[in-house]
């Protein structure tokens, strides 16, 4: 896979780029000596930065991410989002142009199972006014060196699952309506992801060299790896109603198959015939969140967890920090920093040799098309 990195590095284009200047975007023509790396973030709330607001509810604007399309506020785009932070880290070694069209609540926008039209608008990757169309329109013929994606969670009803498990009078893990619907949506997810990833391969988002798709974190593990809801690490601050059994079901029957479906779809996209971007799935994000779930640190009733930081917002965290409940069960600034670290490890080669290779931590999974196997991206 080192050869893939070298090939991609050689392929970086040095043409008209869009750069962030004092919160706005301006176009310039870069000479080879001043070539910039272009990174674009797309997808859902985990890409936009939900849960890590730039300002408090009393300090408008709350969201200060990419506002080129005027949607930073409704899309909850933060400068603390994982992709934005990773781009800033890369920018310390080589000029980086970063843009985000990510929007909280976004779905694939794939055609419904029975047929029909694709989605549309900023909360859809596909379709008219969708994020891919916006990227292609904004960048035109300018090649994009790396497209980072987080997608799939809302296609399986993430928010509905959280709401159902929050209710103290219900047991979401044995609710036949919820479990059967979740299973049905998970079964259809590969089709949706294939449609989206095939669109990228066919140029729906413009000319892209490298696509990085991130794993969803598992927020359900507290101190010592105990499942949240366990009497030793109970939920609190609005998550009191989520039992250990419910958290276990969410981890095993929702998050794990969701990530597996995304990883398999990335494999299919990367091994598709014809000329297309190289694809990588960033694994290891859940392991970074292990022991740092929503049931640790102050004000947990289990004082022994204080000082072990949580990377996931409670309901109270979200209301206090951003003035609404939408950041609940999403990474906070520390959690997004962990995602940024994983993304940096995936795309650092874009600024090589200026940047040192990051120390091995969690593998970024690439695919060897000759041997037809998954391998770490730094494996020959």
**Which pLDDT band, with edges at 50, 70 and 90, does 165 fall under?**
very high
**Average pLDDT score, the chain:** 87
Taking only Cα atoms into account, the Rg of the chain, rounded to an integer number of angstroms, comes to 20
Per-residue confidence (pLDDT) for residue 26, from 0 to 100: 28
- Distance separating alpha carbons of residues 185 and 179, to the nearest angstrom: 10
- Distance separating alpha carbons of residues 354 and 64, to the nearest angstrom: 29
- pLDDT tens for 232-262 read 999 999 999 999 999 999 999 999 999 999 9
- pLDDT tens for 3-54 read 433 333 333 322 222 222 223 222 222 322 236 899 999 999 999 999 999 9
Burial class (CB in 10 A: 0-12, 13-18, 19+), 25: middle
Q: Residue 24 CB: number of other CB atoms within 10 A?
A: 10
Burial class (CB in 10 A: 0-12, 13-18, 19+), 171: middle
- CA contacts within 13 A on the Cβ side of 119: 20
- As a whole number, mean pLDDT of residues 159-183 equals 93
Domains of the chain: 2-376 (3.40.50.1110)
- Distance separating alpha carbons of residues 238 and 312, to the nearest angstrom: 13
**Which pLDDT band, with edges at 50, 70 and 90, does 363 fall under?**
low
By C-alpha distance, which of 245, 254, 235, 236 is closest to 184?
A: 254
**Chain centroid offset of residue 134 CA:** 18
Per-residue confidence (pLDDT) for residue 71, from 0 to 100: 97
**Which pLDDT band, with edges at 50, 70 and 90, does 365 fall under?**
low
Cis peptide before 353, with omega less than 30 degrees from 0? yes
């Amino acid at each position: 896979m080192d050869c893939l990195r070298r090939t991609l590095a050689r392929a970086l284009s040095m043409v008209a780029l869009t750069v962030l200047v004092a919160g706005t975007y301006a176009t310039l023509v870069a000479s080879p000596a001043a070539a910039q790396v272009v990174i674009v973030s797309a997808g859902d709330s985990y890409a936009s930065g939900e849960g890590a607001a730039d300002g408090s509810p009393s300090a408008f604007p709350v969201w200060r991410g990419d506002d080129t399309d005027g949607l930073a506020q409704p899309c909850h785009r933060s400068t603390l989002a994982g992709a934005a932070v990773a781009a800033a880290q890369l920018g310390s070694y080589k000029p980086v142009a970063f843009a985000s069209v990510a929007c909280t609540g976004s779905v694939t926008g794939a055609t419904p199972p029975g047929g029909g039209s694709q989605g549309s608008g900023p909360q859809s990757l596909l379709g008219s006014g969708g994020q891919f169309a916006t990227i292609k329109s904004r960048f035109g013929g300018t090649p994009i060196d790396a497209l980072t994606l987080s997608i799939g969670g809302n296609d399986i009803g993430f928010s509905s699952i959280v709401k159902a498990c929050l209710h103290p009078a219900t047991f979401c893990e044995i609710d036949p309506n919820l479990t059967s619907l979740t299973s049905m949506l998970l079964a259809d997810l590969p089709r949706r992801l294939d449609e989206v990833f095939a669109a990228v391969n066919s140029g729906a988002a413009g000319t892209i060299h490298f696509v990085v798709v991130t794993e969803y974190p598992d927020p359900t593990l507290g101190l010592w790896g105990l499942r949240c809801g366990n009497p030793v690490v109970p939920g609190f601050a609005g998550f009191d109603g989520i039992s250990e059994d419910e958290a276990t079901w969410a981890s095993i029957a929702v998050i794990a198959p969701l990530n597996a479906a995304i990883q398999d779809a990335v494999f299919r996209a990367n091994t598709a015939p014809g000329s297309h971007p190289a694809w990588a799935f960033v694994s290891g994000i859940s392991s970074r969140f292990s022991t740092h779930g929503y049931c640790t640190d102050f004000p947990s009733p289990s004082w022994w967890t204080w000082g072990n930081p949580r990377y996931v917002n409670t309901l109270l965290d979200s209301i206090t920090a951003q003035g609404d409940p939408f950041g609940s069960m999403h990474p906070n600034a520390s959690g997004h920093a962990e995602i940024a670290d994983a993304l940096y490890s995936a795309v650092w080669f874009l600024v090589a040799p200026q940047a040192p290779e990051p120390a091995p931590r969690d593998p970024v999974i690439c695919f060897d098309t000759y041997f037809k196997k998954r391998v770490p991206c730094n494996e020959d």
